[in-house]
Amino acid sequence: MTESSALVAQEMAEAERPGPEPRGSALRRNARWLLLAAAVVFALWLPFGLYPAVAVEILCWALFAVAIDLLLGYVGLMSFGHAAFWGTSAYATGLVAIHWGLPFPLAVLCGALTATVLAVPIGYLAVKRTGIYFAMVTLAFAQMIYVVANKWSSLTGGENGLQSVPRAITDNFYFYYAALPIVFGGLFLAWRIVHSPFGRVLVAIRDNPSRARALGYAVHRYKLMAFMLSAFLAGLGGGLFAMGHRFVSLETLHWTTSGKAVIIVVLGGIGTLWGGPLGAAAIVRLEDWLSFSGFEQIGLVTGGIFVLTVLLFRRGVWGTLFKRR
Amino acid sequence: MTTPLALVARGLSRDFRGFRAVDAVDLEVAAGTVHALVGPNGAGKTTLFNLLTGFLAPTSGRIELAGRDVTGLPPEAVARLGVARSFQITSLFGQLTSGEHVELALQAAQGGGWRFWRSDKLLHRHRPRARELLAMVGLGELEQSKADSLSYGRKRALELALALALDPQVLLLDEPTAGMGMEDVERTIELIGRVREGRTVVMVEHNMSVVGALADRVTVLQAGRVLAEGSYEQVRADEAVITAYLGSGSHAAH
Ligand SMILES: Nc1ncnc2c1ncn2[C@@H]1O[C@H](COP(=O)(O)OP(=O)(O)O)[C@@H](O)[C@H]1O
Ligand SMILES: [Mg+2]
């Protein structure tokens, strides 16, 4: 009791009296605030410059990509099955909106929490593996969920998907601005996690798991927690995606959905957090442009971009999959 | 009266694909002593450390920590029971500074690593103690240096600071002076002599002057087996040990 209150007092003292900062960091911090302000302005402008539906789509994929990046960039784990969380949340969000008539922020929260719960058993089994084996385990579970959703058509609508998910804000232009705070909230959460005591432990685990264990950190449990937080963020994105489209299809659970999220992060930059939104904007915009110009083989182009990024920035993906035990 | 035992191995063995690296080792480390583990390269000393700290599961045998069976516990659980180790091959977090290393170790000991909703500035509350520990191992000036940029000897010193940050009951040091110059060896002897107060220390050490200066008891391993055990003087005079060392030719006691 007294010990913890002493700690609190110490923390408060620390908060008032920050330690000495290295030179030039004030400048860097100002630059960072400027960048952030520019990003916010850009986000506020987006539905004026693009079709609002496309802008909403970018928001959803930005959250999904950041969820992937949290694992890939800060724990060194590449999930190839995150569609399980995105899609499960999309279905759960759609279902609670249809059957309980929940307003969309609550429905999305329900979806994200469902994804988080689903992440417990999957993560529990997956985090015991690393590299390519981790990717395979997550992929296998995602495929299982896909099959279950397909078969369980009384709940999910099977091939037809969940039709006509109700939404009070019908205009996509206004829906974008209603969704934006949730997206900012999710991005802030990701930033907070990365720059927290927990985030520091994650980086230590990524760089040297044995050493972290020797210090007493329960590496598997930290990874599981990171996995759940990542699933929550992917779930936020997936829930918004369902509300954005007012429709949930099986494709939300398909492995190509997981692949697209990975492509976005790899393209945007692994371990940067900025990379997610940036890559999402680029890929979603590109896909929209391709389909608008009547191009059929969109997967070919994004796949090509992926291959090129992997070849040019080989260490990122390659190192994660093959250079770790 | 016998002194309580801090760490005990009974019939401890470990196979690697049919090759027995540690072979029915019995080891009793009395609380508060410095116990040296010596033997030629490949004798199984590091493997024994890995068994004692949960990094490897024994093929057979058991391990007790202060009378408690800890066989099969994972490394993080063993660490939280008060066993800290350093690694023979320096094992650090390349991109973190010395200061951040020690802060992380202090956080591991005191808890708080789960707080994903707080700022990482929270770690700075460990800064005063981290500075003390760094000064203690001679890294006082290098708090801001990334681990990757440190010289070999300084990385070894940081290894030691990390282990000490856990304020362990039992300190396992795998060749703490390997690759150090004379001056650093002297300082490390002096440091271990200081931090052994109130702890039990087990160290693997090739440098016999370090063993002679610090060890209350010495166990000689060879080919996974205990060849001899006793005080430094007893072991030095042991026929089997002399033969083994001269026979292997690699490490004459000096
Ligand atoms: N992970 C492992 N896999 C296979 N053999 C190993 C492994 N670790 C150690 N060994 C073998 O066990 C023996 C003992 O090694 P080690 O414990 O490192 O010796 P020491 O620390 O005394 O020099 C060596 O022959 C080594 O090759
Ligand atoms: Mg060794």
Which pLDDT tens digit goes with each residue over B232-250? 888 888 887 777 775 544 4
Helix H or strand E encompassing A127: none
> Which pLDDT band holds residue A318 (cuts at 50, 70, 90)?
low
> Quick check: A98 and A301 in contact, CB under 8 A?
no
Whole-model pTM?
0.88
> Which pLDDT band holds residue B153 (cuts at 50, 70, 90)?
confident
Residue minimizing CA distance to atom 6 of ligand 1: B16
User: Residues within 5 Å of ion ligand 2 by Cβ?
Assistant: B 45-46, 88
Q: Where are the domains of chain B?
A: 1-82+168-254, 92-166
Rounded Cα gap, residues B77 and B66, in angstroms? 15
DSSP code per residue over A161-201: -B-----S---HHHHHHHHHHHHHHHHHHHHHHHTSHHHHH
Residue A101 pLDDT exceeds 60: yes
The stretches of A172-297 forming alpha helices (DSSP H) are: 172-194, 197-207, 209-214, 219-245, 255-268, 275-292
Instruction: Read off the amino acid at residue B66.
Output: A
Helix H or strand E encompassing A101: none
Mean pLDDT of B206-221: 92
Rounded Cα gap, residues A323 and B105, in angstroms? 26
> Quick check: B76 and A219 in contact, CB under 8 A?
yes
> Quick check: B35 and B211 in contact, CB under 8 A?
no
Mean pLDDT of A169-196: 95
Q: Which residues on chain A are in Cβ contact (under 8 Å) with B117?
A: 192, 196
Residues in chain B: 254
The beta strands (E) that lie in chain B are given as 5-16, 19-30, 34-38, 60-65, 68-69, 83-85, 170-174, 200-204, 217-222, 225-230
> Quick check: A166 and A107 in contact, CB under 8 A?
no
Q: Tell me whether A24 touches chain B (CB under 8 Å).
A: no
Residue A20 pLDDT exceeds 50: no
Which residues make Cβ contacts (< 8 Å) with residue A160, sequence separation at least 6?
A153
Residue B230 pLDDT exceeds 60: yes
Contact map slice: B 103-132 vs A, CB within 8 A: 104-105, 107-109, 112-125, 127
**Are B75 and A204 in contact (CB < 8 Å)?**
no
Report CA A54 to chain centroid distance, whole Å: 18
> Quick check: A192 and A179 in contact, CB under 8 A?
no
**Are A19 and B120 in contact (CB < 8 Å)?**
no
Compute how many other C-beta atoms are within 10 angstroms of the C-beta atom of residue B4.
Answer: 11
Q: What is residue A9's predicted lDDT score, i.e. its pLDDT?
A: 44
Sheet with B5-16: strands ordered across: B19-30, B5-16, B60-65, B68-69
Shortest-distance ligand to the CA of residue B86: 2
Q: What is residue A314's predicted lDDT score, i.e. its pLDDT?
A: 61
Of A38-42, A215-219, A298-302, B107-111, give the lowest mean pLDDT range: A298-302
Which residues make Cβ contacts (< 8 Å) with residue B240, sequence separation at least 6?
B227, B228
Q: Which residues on chain A are in Cβ contact (under 8 Å) with B109?
A: 215-216
Mean pLDDT of B175-180: 86
Ligand 1 interacting residues, C-beta cut-off 6 A = B 16, 21, 39, 41-47
Mean pLDDT of A204-233: 96
Mean pLDDT of A165-177: 92
> Quick check: A156 and A149 in contact, CB under 8 A?
yes
Rounded Cα gap, residues B233 and B238, in angstroms? 9
> Which pLDDT band holds residue A12 (cuts at 50, 70, 90)?
very low
Tell me, what DSSP letter sits at residue A216? T
Which residues make Cβ contacts (< 8 Å) with residue B65, sequence separation at least 6?
B6, B7, B78, B81, B82, B83, B170
> Quick check: A276 and A65 in contact, CB under 8 A?
yes
Mean pLDDT of A243-248: 94
Mind spelling out the 3-state secondary structure of B81-113? CCEEECCCCCCCCCCCEHHHHHHHHHHHHHCCC
Instruction: Read off the amino acid at residue B199.
Output: R
Residue B81 pLDDT exceeds 90: yes
Q: What is residue A289's predicted lDDT score, i.e. its pLDDT?
A: 87
* Closest-CA residue to A187 (of A84, A64, A269, A271): A64
Burial annotation A128-144 (CB, 10 A radius, 16+ → b, else e) = eebbeebbebbbebbbe
Residue A2 pLDDT exceeds 70: no
Of A10-14, A237-241, B53-57, B103-107, give the lowest mean pLDDT range: A10-14
Residue B89 pLDDT exceeds 90: no
Q: What is residue B1's predicted lDDT score, i.e. its pLDDT?
A: 52
Q: Which residues on chain A are in Cβ contact (under 8 Å) with B127?
A: 19
> Quick check: A177 and B98 in contact, CB under 8 A?
no
CA distances in angstroms from A179 to A182, A184, A255, B55, B175, listed in the order given: 5, 9, 26, 47, 58
Residue A291 pLDDT exceeds 60: yes
* Rg over CA atoms, chain B: 18
Of A22, A196, A204, the CB nearest to B104: A204
A257, β-bridge pairs: none
* Closest-CA residue to B100 (of B136, B148, B37): B148
Residue B203, SS3 per DSSP: strand
Residue A29 pLDDT exceeds 50: yes
Residues in chain A: 325
B9, β-bridge pairs: B27, B63
- What is the average pLDDT value for chain A, to the nearest integer? 87
Which is it for strands B34-38 and B200-204: parallel, antiparallel or unpaired? parallel
Rounded Cα gap, residues A111 and B47, in angstroms? 48
Of A278-282, A315-319, B156-160, give the lowest mean pLDDT range: A315-319
Report CA B72 to chain centroid distance, whole Å: 19
Give me the percent of chain A exceeding a pLDDT of 90: 64
Q: Tell me whether A210 touches chain B (CB under 8 Å).
A: yes
> B1-82+168-254 falls under which CATH superfamily?
P-loop containing nucleotide triphosphate hydrolases (3.40.50.300)
Residue A167 pLDDT exceeds 60: yes
> Which pLDDT band holds residue A105 (cuts at 50, 70, 90)?
very high
Which residues make Cβ contacts (< 8 Å) with residue A240, sequence separation at least 6?
A56, A59, A60, A63, A108, A179, A182, A183
What digits encode the pLDDT tens for the residues B46-60?
999 999 999 999 999
Residue A213 pLDDT exceeds 50: yes
What digits encode the pLDDT tens for the residues B184-205?
889 889 999 989 999 999 999 9
Give me the percent of chain B exceeding a pLDDT of 90: 63
Torsion angle in degrees (nearest 10) through CA of B190, B195, B196, B202:
-90
* Rg over CA atoms, chain A: 20
> Which pLDDT band holds residue B133 (cuts at 50, 70, 90)?
very high
Q: What is residue A313's predicted lDDT score, i.e. its pLDDT?
A: 66
Token digits for B173? 């040091």
> Burial of B123 by CB count in 10 Å (0-12 exposed, 13-18 middle, 19+ buried)?
buried
Residue A10 pLDDT exceeds 60: no
Residue A37 pLDDT exceeds 90: yes
Q: What is residue A240's predicted lDDT score, i.e. its pLDDT?
A: 97
Of A19, A192, A211, the CB nearest to B116: A192
Shortest-distance ligand to the CA of residue B174: 2
Mean pLDDT of A195-205: 95
Helix H or strand E encompassing B43: none
Q: Which residues on chain A are in Cβ contact (under 8 Å) with B120?
A: 195-197, 199-200
> Quick check: A87 and A118 in contact, CB under 8 A?
no
Mean pLDDT of A53-58: 95
Q: What is residue B57's predicted lDDT score, i.e. its pLDDT?
A: 95
CA distances in angstroms from B142 to A323, B99, B157, B179, B237, listed in the order given: 30, 8, 11, 20, 43
Q: Where are the domains of chain A?
A: 47-254
Rounded Cα gap, residues B136 and A157, in angstroms? 67
